Structure 1
Amino acid sequence: MATYVIGDLQGCLTPLIELLKQIDYRQEDDQLWFAGDLINRGPESLETLRFVKSLGDNAKVILGNHDLHLIAVAHGHSTLKRSDTLLEILSARDRDELIEWLRQQPLCHYDESLNTIMTHAGVPPCWTLSQTLELAKEVENQLKGNRVDDFLAVMYGNKPRMWEDSLAGMDRLRAITNYLTRMRFCDPNSKLDLKSKEGPNTAQAGYAPWFTYPSKLPENCHIVFGHWAALEGITNQDKIHALDTGCVWGGSLTALRLEDKQSFSTPCSTNRKSL
C-alpha cells in the first residue's frame, strides 16, 4: 500500500488520470491525498469534482481557497469572477450533492503513522501541531453546521493579519481560514502579507515565505501543501513539500509518495486555460 499526495488539480482531470496511470494507482491498495483546490480555472472542474468524490474513502481531501469560493458562491455569498470555471458545477443536476460533499471536507489532515500534516497553504510558524488541528476543526465545524451562512458572509478579507489566541468570533474564523488556505508570506511573528503572490524572492521588507521560519511542529513532522504555484515545487526544506506545480498554468501535476518521498509528475502544457 502506498499513499500519494497530489497538488492542486484546479479542474484538470485529464492530467490526473495520466498521473494515476504513471504511479500505477491501485484503488484497492493505495490512498490518495488531495492538497485542496480541486476545482476552478481549469477546463474540467465538474468532472474533476465528481471523480474525486467517487473515490470515497480512498481519498483524503482538504479544502483550498478555490473550493471555499465555490461553496460561498453556491450559498449566495459571493459572485463568479471572470476567470472562474465553476458555472458548469453550479448548473449541474448533482450540484447540491457536490456542494454538500465539499462542505463536509476538512481544512487539515494529519496521519500519525506517516508523521505528516497536510493543509492547502501550509502551517504558520506560530502554531503547534495540536493547535493547528484544533483551530482547523473550529472552521470545519462552522462549515458543516447550521450557521455556515454566517461564516461565508464574512469569510473574505485580509484582516486580522496576525494570530492572537484572544481572537474571537468571525475574526478568529477568518484568520484561521487565511492561514490554512491563503498564506504565502509572513513576518517572524506570523503576521501575514496576503497581497504578495509571486515567487519566494519577491517578499516585502520584513517578510519571507512562511516555511523559512522555525516551526513549532514536532521536529520530524513533514508538511505537505499546495496553493503556491510560483514555488515550482521547491522549498529547500527537507520536511516541507510544495505540491502545486502549476498544472492549470501549463506546468505539471505532481504526486509525492509519502512512504519514500519519491515525486512523480506529468506535464500539463496542453491544459492551460486562457484567462
Structure 2
Amino acid sequence: MATYLVGDLQGCFDELQLLLERVRFNPAQDKLYLVGDLVARGDKSLDCLRLVKSLGDAAQTVLGNHDLHLISTALGIKKIKPRDRVDAIFSASDFEELIDWLRHQPLLVHNEKLGFLMAHAGISPDWDLETAKACAKEVEKVLQNGDFYALISQMYDNFPDRWSPDLQGMDRLRYIINVFTRMRFCYQDHRLDFACKVSPKEAPPELTPWFELNNPLYRQIPIVFGHWASLVDEKMPPNIYALDTGCVWNNRLTMLRWEDKQIFSQSAVKNYEI
C-alpha cells in the first residue's frame, strides 16, 4: 500500500497515466492525492476529470483556481477561454455529473494518519491548523450545499488581501478562496499579492513566498501544494512540498510517494501550445 501525491495536471492526462503505470498504481490498495487544477490549458482535461472521478475513494483532489473557473463557466458566470481547451468537457454526455462532482471537492485535505496538509496554493500565514480547517469548511459548505452561484459569481476580486477573524460575508469567503487557490507571495504584513508569479529569486524584495513567513503551522505539519510552476527546482524549506513543476508549460509532471518521499517525474510528452 502506497500514497502518491501529484502536481497540477491541467489536462496532462498522458503524463499522469505514464506515472501511474511506472509506480504500478493499484486503486485497490494505493491512494492518489492531487493538488488541484485538474483542468485547463492541456489537451485532455475531460480525461483527467473522468479518471480521478472514476477512482472513487482511491483518489482525492482539492480545488484549484482553474477548477473553480471551470465551474464558473459551466454556470454561465464567465465565458470559456479558448486557450483553456475545455470544449470537450462541455460537449461530454457526463458534463453535468462531472461539474457536480468537482463542486463537491474540498479546498483543504488534512490526512491525520500520514500527517500532512494539502491545498492547491497554500495556507494563510495568519492561520493555525484549526482556523485553516474551519475556513475551508466555511467555503465548502456553500459550494456543496448553499448558494454556490452567488459565491462563485462574487469570488473574482483581490480584496480583502489581509486576514482578520472579523471578516464576514463574501469578503471572508473570498479571502479564504484566494488563499487556498491563488496565493503565492505576501508582503511582510501578510497582505496577499496576486500580481507576481515569478520565482522567489526574481521577485521584488518587498515580497516573500507565503511559506517563508513566520507561521508556526508551517513547521508543525508538512504542507503539500501546487499552483506555482515557477518554483520548479527551487529548494523548499523543511515540511514544504511544492509539486507543480509545469508539465503544461512543457516541463514535467511530478509525483511524490509519501512513505519514502521518493520523487517520480514524467517529462511533457508533447509540445503544449499555451
TM-score (norm 1): 0.96
Percent of aligned pairs with the same amino acid? 47
Deviation for aligned residue 1:245: 0.5
Aligned counterpart, 1:91: 91
Tell me what 1:44 maps to: 44
Distance (whole Å) between structure 2 residues aligned to residue 83 and residue 108 of structure 1: 28
| Shift, 1:205, TM fit | 3.7
Question: Shift of residue 267 of structure 1?
Answer: 0.8
Instruction: State the partner residue of 2:270.
Output: 271
Mapped to 1, the partners of 2:157 and 2:18 lie a distance apart of: 37
| Residue 271 (structure 1) shift | 3.0
Aligned residues: CA RMSD: 1.3
Letter in 2 for 1:267: S
* Distance change (3 Å), C-alpha of 1:109 and 1:272: farther
Q: Is the 8 A contact 1:89 1:95 kept in 2?
A: yes
Does residue 1:17 correspond to 2:17, yes or no? Answer: yes
Structure 1 residue 234, shift from structure 2 partner: 2.8
For structure 2, which runs of at least 5 residues remain unmatched after alignment?
A: none
Poorly superposed stretches of 4+, deviation over 6 Å:
none
Q: Quote how far apart the aligned CAs of 1:272 are.
A: 3.6
Who is 1:152 aligned against? 152
The count of corresponding residues between Structure 1 and Structure 2 is: 274
Cα 1:135–1:53 shift into 2, 3 Å = same
Match status 1:209 vs 2:214:
no
Cα distance in structure 1, aligned partners of 2:230 and 2:19: 21
Preserved contact between residue 119 and residue 225 of structure 1 (Cα < 8 Å): yes
| Mapped partners of 2:229, 2:197: distance in 1 | 9
TM-aligned CA distance change 1:37 to 1:211, over 3 Å: same
1:75-106: CA deviation from partner (whole Å, max 9, x where unpaired): 11111123211111112111000000000000
In structure 2, relative to structure 1, the CA distance for the partners of 1:264 and 1:126 (3 Å cut) is same
Match of 1:246?
Answer: 246
Q: For the residues of structure 2 that align with 1:122 and 1:4, how far apart are their CA atoms?
A: 19
Please give the residue correspondences for 1:61-76 in structure 2 after superposition, counting only pairs within 5 Å: 61-76=61-76
1:110 corresponds to which letter in structure 2? Answer: H
Aligned to 1:161: 161
| AA in 1 matched with 2:207 | Y
